[in-house]
Structure 1
Amino acid sequence: MPTNELRSPAPSLTPPTDARTAVADSAADACADADARTAGPARLPWPALLALSTAGFITLMTEALPAGVLPAMSADLGVSQSGAGQSVTLYAVGSIVAAIPLTAATAGWPRKRLLLLAVGGFTLANAVTAVSADYALTMAARFAAGLVAGLLWALLAGYARGIVAPEQRGRAMAVAMSGATVALSIGVPAGTLLAGAAGWRVAFGLMSVLALALVGWIATAVPAAPGQAPGDRLPLRRVLRIPGVAAVLAVTAAFVLAHNILYTYVAALIEPLGLGGRTDTVLLVLGLTSLVSIAVTGTLIDRHLRTLTLTACLLVAAAALTVAAALLGSAAWPVYAAAAVWGLGFGGVATLLQTAVADAADTAADLAQSLLVTCWNLGIAAAASAGGLLLDHAGATSLPWSALALLALALAVTAAARRHGFPTRR
Structure 2
Amino acid sequence: MATTQLPTPAARGRSPFPLPSLLALATAVFVTALTETLPAGVLPGMGGALGVGESAAGQTVTVYALGTAATAIPLTAATAGWSRKRLLLGAMAGFAVANTVTAASTNYPLTIAARFLAGVAAGLAWALLAGYARRLVPAGQQGRAMAVAMAGVPVALSLGVPVGTFLGRVLAWWVPFLAMTALAVGVIGWIAAALPDQPGRADGDRTPVRRALALPGVRPVLAVTVLLVLAHTVLFTYVAPFLDRAGLGTATDSVLLVFGVASLVAIWFTGVHIHRRLRWLTAGGVLLIAAAAALLGLWPDGSPLVHLAALLWGLGWGGAPTLLQTAAGDAGGAQADAAQAALVTLWNVAMAGGGVAGGLVLGRFGTGALPWTVLLLLVPVLAVVLGARAHGFPARRT
Tell me which residue corresponds to 2:8: none
Distance 2:97 2:368 in 1: 43
1:274 and 1:332 in contact (8 A); partners too: no
Letter in 2 for 1:88: V
Residue 424 of structure 1, aligned match among 390, 395, 398: 395
Q: Deviations over 1:196-232 (max 9, x none)?
A: 5554554333322222221221122111111112276
2:43 and 2:57 in contact (8 A); partners too: yes
Change (3 A) 1:281 1:143: same
* Residue 147 (structure 1) shift: 0.7
What stretches of structure 2 of length at least 5 have no aligned partner?
1-10
Tell me which residue corresponds to 2:162: 189
Change (3 A) 1:144 1:248: same
Which is further off, 402-411 or 129-138? 129-138
Aligned 1:360-375 pairs, distance under 5 A = 360-375=331-346
Distance 2:24 2:367 in 1: 41
Distance 2:246 2:168 in 1: 30
Which is further off, 262-271 or 93-102? 262-271
Letter in 2 for 1:302: H
Q: Deviations over 1:359-387 (max 9, x none)?
A: 11122222211211222222222223333
Change (3 A) 1:276 1:85: closer
Tell me which residue corresponds to 1:404: 375
1:312 and 1:344 in contact (8 A); partners too: yes
2:220 and 2:384 in contact (8 A); partners too: yes
Distance 2:348 2:201 in 1: 25
Distance 1:132 1:273 in 2: 31
After superposition, the CA RMSD in angstroms is: 2.8
SS of match in other structure, 1:230: coil
Tell me which residue corresponds to 2:38: 65
2:165 and 2:253 in contact (8 A); partners too: no
Q: Deviations over 1:244-292 (max 9, x none)?
A: 1110011111111222233234456556765454333322221211111
Tell me which residue corresponds to 1:45: 18
2:69 and 2:345 in contact (8 A); partners too: yes
Output the TM-score relative to the length of structure 2: 0.86
Letter in 1 for 2:159: I
Aligned 1:3-402 pairs, distance under 5 A = 43-70=16-43, 73=46, 79-81=51-53, 86-131=59-104, 136-230=109-203, 234-267=207-240, 274-326=247-299, 333-394=304-365, 396-402=367-373
Distance 2:247 2:42 in 1: 25
Tell me which residue corresponds to 2:6: none
Distance 2:46 2:249 in 1: 23
Distance 1:372 1:316 in 2: 21
2:88 and 2:124 in contact (8 A); partners too: no
Output the TM-score relative to the length of structure 1: 0.81
* Residue 319 (structure 1) shift: 1.9
Letter in 2 for 1:375: L
Letter in 2 for 1:361: G
SS of match in other structure, 1:80: coil
Distance 1:135 1:390 in 2: 23
1:318 and 1:338 in contact (8 A); partners too: yes
Q: Deviations over 1:54-108 (max 9, x none)?
A: 111111222233444456556666x435565554333222112111111111111
* Residue 320 (structure 1) shift: 2.1
Letter in 1 for 2:52: S
SS of match in other structure, 2:82: coil
Q: Which has the higher contact order (CA 8 A, sep 6+)?
A: 2
Tell me which residue corresponds to 1:15: none
Which is further off, 106-115 or 223-232? 223-232
* Residue 358 (structure 1) shift: 0.8
Distance 2:325 2:387 in 1: 18
Structure showing greater radius of gyration is 1
* Residue 331 (structure 1) shift: 5.6
* Residue 347 (structure 1) shift: 0.6
Distance 2:297 2:106 in 1: 44
